[in-house]
Chain A
């Protein structure tokens, strides 16, 4: 790209004005919400997921997620009797419109695994950001400051779960915000709201009355890629060992 000196002189004040709006910011949102009183996570119950794709559609509607990109998606696993360790995984269009029928005679077990940002307490993605544009908020949600993000995509590479993408129009990193604009207003996330079977449940780990505590005590709950010590806060019930 060639920019003449004249163009630079015109662009500089424009950039200054744009930067001014970044500096000003807009604090606000929910006056009664105290960040220090929450520590958000999410529970996904594999045994309840029917692969309808409602969560994927709800997320795209709620958050204007561009086509072909996903803040949450659903994978269908097929673990055959012969090869237990290498499952066949499909996720056509993120599972947005459901899944093809199971081929007759295909033995083995099938199950659906909804995936999304794990809102890690020790997230690899926030550690690599060179400009401080992505961070974990005091209430445990990994967010992107899209006014600050340069779109370098370091975080996209760093996420071990593949939960980030570069927004094709905004050209900055985009990801699940755990519907931060909803949970701070006392609502649940769009995906949890739209899930017909209750396979997804928003969880506030700092709230002693949240049913998540009872659930974690009484079920064999896992997180994805525990060996990476990311402190993932999306908990999976009934997770098969073959899930990657």
Chain B
């Protein structure tokens, strides 16, 4: 007993230390999200949250499930591997509700030159035209069918 005679203040200090540690554990239990550390030093649930964000580009599979006629026109032409939404834009709303949401008709005079305007910086094998000289402002679809742009396929009209 004599050994611990004057050690009371140390025990009180140790008790405080233990108490603080318990408080720390309790607070930590409530403050740290349950999924933190599930896969690593981050909140595991955040992966699911990011994965649940809304999609805006429906994907060509969605388009092709209905528009099989366009697919038939496309498949033999040079645009066979150009996805629908590359030109038509993000259309998940149309894919979800095809009757009430209808995409606007595109202006080929503006659209086509986005890719096909002549530029010395583009890869040499890529088909390019100086639009003004080539068509004098006529819409491209006058002569070219956009889904199969080769001349043999003819224009839309």
Q: Contact check, B42 vs A132: say whether CB atoms are below 8 A apart.
A: yes
Interface residues of A (CB under 8 A from B): 19, 22-23, 25-30, 33, 35, 47-54, 58, 61-62, 76, 78, 98-99, 101-102, 106, 110-112, 132-135, 137-138, 143, 145, 147-148, 177, 180-182, 184-185, 187-188, 190, 193-198
Task: Work out how many contacts link A and B, with CB atoms closer than 8 A.
Answer: 146
A231 to chain B, nearest CB (A): 16
Are A181 and B55 touching (Cβ within 8 A)?
Answer: yes
Chain B residues, Cβ within 8 Å of A53: 114
B17-37 CB mask vs A (1 if < 8 Å, else 0) is 000000000000001011110
Q: Per DSSP, are chain B's interface residues mostly helix, strand or loop, or mixed?
A: loop
A-B pairs, 5 with minimum CB distance:
A25-B45, A29-B51, A110-B121, A102-B120, A145-B46
With A27-B45, A148-B43, A188-B59: A194-B83 Cβ-Cβ less than 8 Å: yes
A76 and B121 within 8 A (CB): yes
Residues of chain B lying within 8 A (CB to CB) of residue A184: 51
The reply on B53 being an interface residue by CB < 8 A is yes
Do A28 and B89 form a contact, CB below 8 Å, given A132-B43, A138-B39?
Answer: no
Docked Cα-Cα span, A182 to B59, in Å, equals: 9
A to B CB contacts below 8 Å, 22 in the list: A22-B43, A25-B43, A29-B48, A30-B51, A33-B51, A47-B123, A51-B121, A53-B114, A61-B56, A61-B89, A61-B90, A99-B119, A111-B123, A135-B41, A143-B47, A143-B50, A145-B42, A145-B43, A187-B59, A194-B57, A194-B85, A196-B87
A195 to B116, CA, bound (A): 14
Judged by a CB distance under 8 angstroms, whether B70 is at the interface is: no
Choice from A30, A132, A143, A196 contacting B36 with Cβ under 8 Å = A132
Chain B residue at minimal CB-CB distance from A143: B50
Q: Do the beta carbons of A110 and B120 come within 8 Å of each other? A: yes
Q: How far, in angstroms, from A181 to B47 measured CA to CA in the complex?
A: 9
Alpha-carbon distance between A78 and B121 when the two chains are bound, in angstroms: 8
Q: Are A137 and B52 in contact (CB under 8 A)?
A: no
**A26 to B: closest C-beta gap in Å:** 5
Q: Give the dominant DSSP class at A's interface.
A: loop
* B106 sits at the interface (CB 8 A): no
Residues of B within 8 A of A29 (CB): 48, 51-52
- A101 and B52 within 8 A (CB): no
| CB–CB B81/A193 < 8 A | no
A26 in contact with B86 (CB, 8 Å): no
Is B42's CB under 8 angstroms from A133's CB? yes
| Among B47, B85, B90, B122, contact of A137 (Cβ-Cβ < 8 Å) | B47
CA distance A83 to B120 in the complex (A): 19
> B residues within 8 A CB of A49?
123
A210 to B52, CA, bound (A): 25
Contact yes or no, A25 B55, CB < 8 A: no
A134 touches B51 (CB 8 A): no
Return the chain A residue nearest B41 by Cβ. Answer: A132
Contact check, A48 vs B123: say whether CB atoms are below 8 A apart.
yes
Measured CA separation A110–B117 after assembly (Å): 16
**A50 touching B115, Cβ below 8 Å:** yes
Across-interface contacts of B55 in A (CB, < 8 A):
62, 181-182, 185, 187
In the complex, chain B residues whose CB is within 8 Å of the CB of A33? 51
Q: A148-B42, A177-B50 are in contact. Are A22 and B33 (CB under 8 A)?
A: yes
Contacts of A76 in B (CB 8 A): 121
Residues of A near B46 (CB, < 8 A) are 25, 143, 145, 147-148
The reply to whether A102 and B121 contact each other, CB–CB distance below 8 Å, is yes
A181 contacts which chain B residues (CB < 8 A)? Answer: 50-55
For B40, list chain A residues within 8 Å (CB). 135
Residues of A within 8 A of B152 (CB): none
